[in-house]
């Protein structure tokens, strides 16, 4: 069976999802988990876009050694130079260059003739190869490009030194039959195509990203690009976990394999969901909470008699285990430290002590502490480590009842060290708290989305809240947790505001679409 390489772009294309704004430590945690998952290459970001992205890419490149790390660049020398400074410490530094090739992009966006586009691509690939041992070149909007022109430019960039050729379906326009034929045409038409890896990158605008990627593999692609949970701008990208499991389950049809550790799928999915604030829909393939739930009586009866009657994927295959008690109020620091290490989270001794104190505080109110509970605590610690708490809630109080108007009082510490207080009413408790916080915070705030869920089950479950705010017109996600749902909601609101403040301290991010 031929190996298909997996190129993960969760930290670059995935982070282009509206409102997603990962800090450096959060990106590093995801990168470490992607390394454990076994991806062949991870796209850590776009170094030239901002100082923050440059620092994050550099940190990841200097840390990750078992997976190739790449960064995105436009066909501009300064982008290539900046990317090299960020990536030169990687075990195998790779540059990902992109340039549009479709008539509509060349005419209206680039304002260049096809000949000029070829010259630019060749020049920049050649320039990049002077430093990078691996250069991937992407024909942006390949699925709407002229095939003969694609063949011509691909041949030229291979001669210039490209080691990977990527044909993205940038706007999610193509179908499996069309996309498969494109790859077949390129493999049969480009004379030097055997010198490179051929990659596919599919967006999910029409819901066909996974199907299109599999069609590409059937027709010559040796690398698949995608994201965890299929996140990304617009409707997202091909979901890597779905592709990996599809190749495994249907190995009778697809004679290919990946180097992924499928047992890390659930943990990777959960980590990305928590840190990005993008919940996985309940009925999502492979990782949704209903993926292994059977409601219909006839299904339940069949599964009880033999799981394979209705389950083609076992929970154990993707790392889903029963969420049983592992630590309690009598558990010591050593056991706690071992469990943190098992979860793959690295903390300093100071932060480990802080996490342990939070854990002990939780056990005073919650009898059973699960993996999900602990991961939630650790993610809160990671937020603290990133110094995003510019506003701090010193105290809040809410009065409500069926016969009373909900009223919230908040005492807030501001970024300049002052303490302010106010009280507001609302139609409900959360609205009252949010209106009060809004009145105390200087930025212009608009709540776009609010979500609340429990971590695990039981009346004593931790509440986890995710919000999306428009802060001075910029979309920002925030998350917060607590055993009280109102406190969790307030924490998420403040977390979003603080993320905006931190983000503004770095250079403005340039929006890029590949």
Beta strand pairing call for 2-3 and 256-257? parallel
Counting other chains too, the contacts that 213-216 makes at CB distance below 8 Å and 24 or more residues apart are 213/238, 213/243, 214/176, 214/243, 214/246, 214/247, 214/254, 215/176, 215/177, 215/179, 215/180, 215/183, 216/167, 216/179, 216/180, 216/183
Tell me the three state secondary structure of residue 197: strand
State the Cα angle at 233 between 231 and 234, rounded to 5°.
105
DSSP H helix total and E strand total for the chain? 16, 16
* Rama region for 472: left / alpha / beta (φ>0; ψ in -120 to 50; rest): left
Q: Of the candidates 3, 14, 8, 4, which has an alpha carbon nearest to the alpha carbon of residue 477? A: 14
Most confident of 334-343, 360-369, 428-437: 428-437
pLDDT band (50, 70, 90) for residue 512 = very low
Q: Which residue did the predictor score with more confidence, 179 or 296?
A: 179
Tell me the three state secondary structure of residue 20: coil
Beta bridge partners of 466: 451, 479
**At how many degrees (to 10) do helices 114-128 and 77-87 cross?**
30
Mean pLDDT (the chain, rounded)? 90
pLDDT band (50, 70, 90) for residue 511 = very low
Q: Is the pLDDT of residue 506 over 90?
A: no
Contacts of 425 (CB under 8 A, 6+ apart): 405, 406, 407, 408, 432, 435
Residue 492 tokens, joined: 């998420």
Q: Is the pLDDT of residue 360 over 70?
A: yes
Q: Give me the pLDDT at residue 389, please.
A: 57
pLDDT band (50, 70, 90) for residue 387 = low
pLDDT band (50, 70, 90) for residue 307 = low
Rounded mean pLDDT, 279-294: 85
Q: Of the candidates 208, 222, 212, which has an alpha carbon nearest to the alpha carbon of residue 255? A: 222
Q: Is the pLDDT of residue 277 over 80?
A: yes
Q: Give me the pLDDT at residue 295, please.
A: 45
Q: Is the pLDDT of residue 325 over 50?
A: no
Rounded Cα gap, residues 278 and 263, in angstroms: 22
Residue 442 tokens, joined: 């200087």
Q: Give me the pLDDT at residue 367, please.
A: 67
Rounded Cα gap, residues 90 and 71, in angstroms: 11
CATH assignment of 392-504? 3.30.160.270
Q: Of the candidates 361, 394, 335, 383, which has an alpha carbon nearest to the alpha carbon of residue 462? A: 361
Q: Give me the pLDDT at residue 342, please.
A: 78
Q: Is the pLDDT of residue 368 over 90?
A: no
* Mean pLDDT lowest among 100-104, 255-259, 371-375, 444-448: 371-375
Q: Is the pLDDT of residue 171 over 50?
A: yes
Rounded mean pLDDT, 285-294: 81
Q: Is the pLDDT of residue 513 over 50?
A: no
Contacts of 513 (CB under 8 A, 6+ apart): 16, 140, 170, 233
Predicted confidence (pLDDT) per residue in 252-264, tens digit: 999 999 999 999 9
Q: Give me the pLDDT at residue 348, please.
A: 82
Q: Give me the pLDDT at residue 383, please.
A: 58
Predicted confidence (pLDDT) per residue in 64-101, tens digit: 999 999 999 999 999 999 999 999 999 999 999 999 99
Cα–Cα distance list, 248 to 243, 312, 447 (Å): 9, 11, 42
Most confident of 44-48, 397-401, 501-505, 506-510: 44-48
Q: Give me the pLDDT at residue 164, please.
A: 98
Q: In this prediction, what percent of the chain has a pLDDT beyond 90?
A: 67
Rounded Cα gap, residues 207 and 8, in angstroms: 19
Query: Residue written as tokens 């090739």?
Result: 101
Q: Give me the pLDDT at residue 505, please.
A: 65
Q: Give me the pLDDT at residue 332, please.
A: 80
Q: Is the pLDDT of residue 300 over 70?
A: no
pLDDT band (50, 70, 90) for residue 118 = very high
Q: Give me the pLDDT at residue 460, please.
A: 78
Predicted confidence (pLDDT) per residue in 126-161, tens digit: 999 999 999 999 999 999 999 999 999 999 999 999
Q: Give me the pLDDT at residue 312, please.
A: 87
Contacts of 249 (CB under 8 A, 6+ apart): 312, 313
Q: What is the dihedral of CA 275, 277, 278, 282, to 10 degrees?
A: 100
Most confident of 94-98, 297-301, 482-486: 94-98
Q: Let me know if 316 is exposed, middle or buried by CB neighbors in 10 A (0-12, 13-18, 19+).
A: exposed
Q: Is the pLDDT of residue 296 over 60?
A: no
Most confident of 269-273, 308-312, 475-479: 269-273
Q: Give me the pLDDT at residue 461, please.
A: 85
Q: Quick check: 413 and 390 in contact, CB under 8 A?
A: no
pLDDT band (50, 70, 90) for residue 327 = low
CATH class of the 2-276 domain in this structure:
alpha beta
Rounded mean pLDDT, 91-114: 97
Q: Is the pLDDT of residue 433 over 80?
A: yes
Cα–Cα distance list, 189 to 148, 149, 203, 382, 385 (Å): 9, 11, 25, 50, 53
Q: Is the pLDDT of residue 213 over 60?
A: yes
Q: Give me the pLDDT at residue 354, please.
A: 85
Q: Quick check: 278 and 20 in contact, CB under 8 A?
A: yes
Domain map of the chain by residue range?
A: 2-276, 291-320, 333-385, 392-504
Q: Of the candidates 507, 508, 503, which has an alpha carbon nearest to the alpha carbon of residue 443? A: 503
Q: Quick check: 260 and 37 in contact, CB under 8 A?
A: yes
Q: Is the pLDDT of residue 272 over 80?
A: yes
- What's the half-sphere exposure (Cβ side, CA atoms, 13 Å) at 397? 6
Q: Is the pLDDT of residue 382 over 70?
A: no
Q: Of the candidates 249, 251, 250, 245, which has an alpha carbon nearest to the alpha carbon of residue 264? A: 245
């Amino acid at each position: 069976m031929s190996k298909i390489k997996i190129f993960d772009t969760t930290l670059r294309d995935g982070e282009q999802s509206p409102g997603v704004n990962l800090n450096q430590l959060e990106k590093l945690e995801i990168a470490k988990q992607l390394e454990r998952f076994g991806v062949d290459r991870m796209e850590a970001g776009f170094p030239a876009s901002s100082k923050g992205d440059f620092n994050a890419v550099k940190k990841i490149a200097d840390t990750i050694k078992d997976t190739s790390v790449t960064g995105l660049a436009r066909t501009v020398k300064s982008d290539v130079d900046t990317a090299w400074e960020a990536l030169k410490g990687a075990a195998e530094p790779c540059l990902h260059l992109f340039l549009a090739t479709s008539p509509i992009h060349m005419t209206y966006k680039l304002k260049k003739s096809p000949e000029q586009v070829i010259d630019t691509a060749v020049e920049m690939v050649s320039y990049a190869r002077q430093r990078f041992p691996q250069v991937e070149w992407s024909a942006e909007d390949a699925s709407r490009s002229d095939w003969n022109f694609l063949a011509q430019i691909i041949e030229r960039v291979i001669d210039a030194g490209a080691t990977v050729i990527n044909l993205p379906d940038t706007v999610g326009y193509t179908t499996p039959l069309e996309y498969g034929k494109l790859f077949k045409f390129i493999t049969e038409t480009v004379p030097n195509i055997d010198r490179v890896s051929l990659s596919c990158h599919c967006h999910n605008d029409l819901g066909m990203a996974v199907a299109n990627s599999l069609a590409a593999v059937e027709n010559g692609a040796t690398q698949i690009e995608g994201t965890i949970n299929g996140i990304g701008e617009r409707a997202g990208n091909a979901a890597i976990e779905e592709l990996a499991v599809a190749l495994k389950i249907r190995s009778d049809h697809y004679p290919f394999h990946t180097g992924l550790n499928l047992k890390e799928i659930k943990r990777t999915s959960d980590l990305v969901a928590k840190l990005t604030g993008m919940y996985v829909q309940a009925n999502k393939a492979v990782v949704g909470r209903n993926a292994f739930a059977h409601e219909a009586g006839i299904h339940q009866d069949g599964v009880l008699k033999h799981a394979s009657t209705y389950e083609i994927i076992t929970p154990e295959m993707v790392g889903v285990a029963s969420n049983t008690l592992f630590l309690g109020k009598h558990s010591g620091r050593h056991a706690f430290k071992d469990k943190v290490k098992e979860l793959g989270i690295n903390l300093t001794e100071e932060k480990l002590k802080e996490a342990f104190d939070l854990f002990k505080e939780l056990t005073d109110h919650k009898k059973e502490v699960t993996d999900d509970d602990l991961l939630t605590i650790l993610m809160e610690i990671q937020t603290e480590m990133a110094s995003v708490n510019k506003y701090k809630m010193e105290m809040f109080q809410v009065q409500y009842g069926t016969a009373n108007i909900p009223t919230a009082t908040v005492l807030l510490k501001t970024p300049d060290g002052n303490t302010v207080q106010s009280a507001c009413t609302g139609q409900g408790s959360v609205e009252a708290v949010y209106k009060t916080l809004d009145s105390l915070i200087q930025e212009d705030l608009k709540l776009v989305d609010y979500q609340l869920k429990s971590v695990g089950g039981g009346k004593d479950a931790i509440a986890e809240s995710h919000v999306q705010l428009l802060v001075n017109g910029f979309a920002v996600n925030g998350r917060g947790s607590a055993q009280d749902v109102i406190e969790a909601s307030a924490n998420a609101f403040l977390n979003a505001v603080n993320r905006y403040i931190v983000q503004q301290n770095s250079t403005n991010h340039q929006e890029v679409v590949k």
